[in-house]
Structure 1
Amino acid sequence: MDELISALDKVTVEMVSRIHEASYEDLEKFVDERGLIVDQIIPYIDNGLDKRQQAEINRIFTHDEVLRERMQQLRDEALLKIKQINQAKLQKKSYEYYTVTDSYFIDKKN
């Protein structure tokens, strides 16, 4: 159990130390890795943790707000880029020349 808590602490501290340079891929990998560790810890929680282990887990989870803020920042950046792309498409579309393809031109000679 202590090894799992130590592994959770290690991956969390590593990510927090480079949170401002972390890309969404880095955060995705971190969330997957952390999820695997937490899934292994859950059965031990059902059997009870001693106070030291519980305190250590609570200390690790204090970093969650920093991680959540960075994820929110990356999400907001992605939404802004998507909005800009959609606006560019809309502007481009308004300048495109549309023609009716099923029209005919009849020239009458007098």
Structure 2
Amino acid sequence: MDNLITELDAMTESIINKLSVVTFEELSDFVDQRQLLIDQLKLLMESDEVLTSSNKDRIQNITKQDTCISNRMMELKIEAQDWLQQRNQAKVQRSAYEAGYSQDSILMDRKK
């Protein structure tokens, strides 16, 4: 169990150190790997392995970092929403200039 908590702590510390420049893909990989470790910890705890007070403290310190990680995820989500919104606005503006004219139509000018 100590090894799992140590690995979880190291992963969390690594992602926190580069949190300002981390990409969505890196965060996604981190969350997937973290979930695997948490599942393994749950299995150990269900098999009657007792958490020591030092392990509980270490886990609490790890979970304190969750707020920072969640905030970064929210920033990335907002950036993606803004990008999609700008893209959709560009499509609307572009489609206004790309009117669908029929190829068989004829344009007639009048002389004044």
TM-score bracket, normalised by the shorter chain, equals 0.7 to 0.9
Between the aligned partners of 1:104 and 1:42, the Cα distance in structure 2 is 71
* Residues 17-36 of structure 1: per-residue CA shift (max 9 Å, x gap): 00001000110111111111
Structure 2 segments unaligned to the other structure (5+ residues): 107-112
1:6-17 alignment to 2 at 5 Å? 6-17=6-17
Aligned to 1:49: 51
TM-score (normalizing by structure 2): 0.86
Aligned length: 104
Between the aligned partners of 1:24 and 1:99, the Cα distance in structure 2 is 42
Between the aligned partners of 1:16 and 1:4, the Cα distance in structure 2 is 18
Structure 1 runs of 4+ aligned residues shifted over 6 Å read: none
Aligned to 1:26: 26
Identity %: 32
Aligned to 1:87: 89
* Residues 61-88 of structure 1: per-residue CA shift (max 9 Å, x gap): 1000000000000000000000000000
Structure 1 segments unaligned to the other structure (5+ residues): 106-110
The letter for the 1-side match of 2:94 is K
TM-score (normalizing by structure 1): 0.87
* Residues 84-104 of structure 1: per-residue CA shift (max 9 Å, x gap): 000000011111122246x77
